[in-house]
Amino acid sequence: MTLAISTLRIAAPVLLAPMAGITDLPFRRVAARFGAGLVVSEMVASGEMVTARPSVRAKARTDLGIGDGPTSVQLAGRDAAPMAEAARIVTGMGASVIDINMGCPAKQVTGGYSGSALMRDPDHALRLIEAVVGATHLPVTLKCRLGWDSDCLNAPDLALRAQNAGIQMITVHGRTRQQFYKGAADWDAIGRVVRKVTIPVIANGDITDVASARAALAASGAAGVMIGRGAQGAPWRVGQIAHALYGAKAPSVPTGSALAEFVTEHYGAMLSFYGRDLGLRVARKHIGWYCDAARADPGQRRMMMTLSDPAAVEAAIRRAFACEPLGVAA
């Protein structure tokens, strides 16, 4: 099944979700290598993009990975003018798709009336959508939640208005903002959005393996799925689901010494991207997720979380993963 986002064609509609502090460029690159149909950047604050110096914007282009392949850049903000200007900037950088963030539940985002807080004011949300669509020739997509809370389940109505304003695809996380990540994602409720619009709707939330992806599609009738936390420690998971559901090429999942080399490679990419000191800190959570997925020895896991010498960390990675079989979710 091919997913069409305006003129962009995605052979297998299994997408990698944008996750702040997680789906950075090194992670997106490995997920794409393992078969992710489309990767979405971490959230970019429109105000910061607009006020940045040209040198900062140039670095942003590199950090976003524009030019690596089809790249969707997610913008967040609360004011129409900066959102439109940010859209023009990333269009000029060479992005393939622009995504508008109306789904982030984090307090530091919603407290600034961005992210899922915009679902409390659909009229204002629509002004932002119209501003971004009017500022670019690129396809513009939207990511949202079911609503703000159980008394404000307005995703279907917002989706219809967004479609009429020019949005080309909508991804819906099956929870409200007030739920954050508690309880279970309501895939049936995503189906109400699917039935309201004619553009593709992507289901998101609690989709961690092939079985849950199938269940989400069956319950929602969505055109595809977006994988977030299920890819932590398993960047090949998106490709595995794409293979099982849509016949995409099966990713070669590393095990044993190949897994050790892969984790070491990803670790090195993070150090190169962030620099030594910040890279050491950022990499720890990813190493922890790899350890959890591979059921690595807890003692070795603790050691890797505290080592501060990159060479020592790499040696510990090889010891921890070289002989560990990796569980593959089916």
Helix runs in the chain, H state only: 25-33, 46-51, 54-64, 80-93, 107-110, 122-135, 155-164, 187-194, 210-220, 237-246, 256-274, 276-294, 298-306, 310-321
Q: Are 210 and 329 in contact (CB under 8 A)?
A: yes
Q: Are 216 and 187 in contact (CB under 8 A)?
A: yes
Q: Give the DSSP letter string of 285-329.
A: HHHHHHHHHHT--HHHHHHHHH---HHHHHHHHHHHHTTPPPP--
Q: What are phi and psi of 139, to 5 degrees?
A: -65, 140
Q: How far is CA 185 from CA 176, 236, 241, 296, 320, in A?
A: 9, 22, 18, 29, 34
What length does the chain have?
A: 330
Q: What are phi and psi of 231, to 5 degrees?
A: -95, -5
104 given a catalytic annotation: yes
Q: Are 37 and 238 in contact (CB under 8 A)?
A: yes
**Amino acid in the structure at residue 189:** A
Beta bridge partners of 75: 44, 100
d(CA 313, CA 60): 29
Would you name the residues annotated as active-site residues?
104
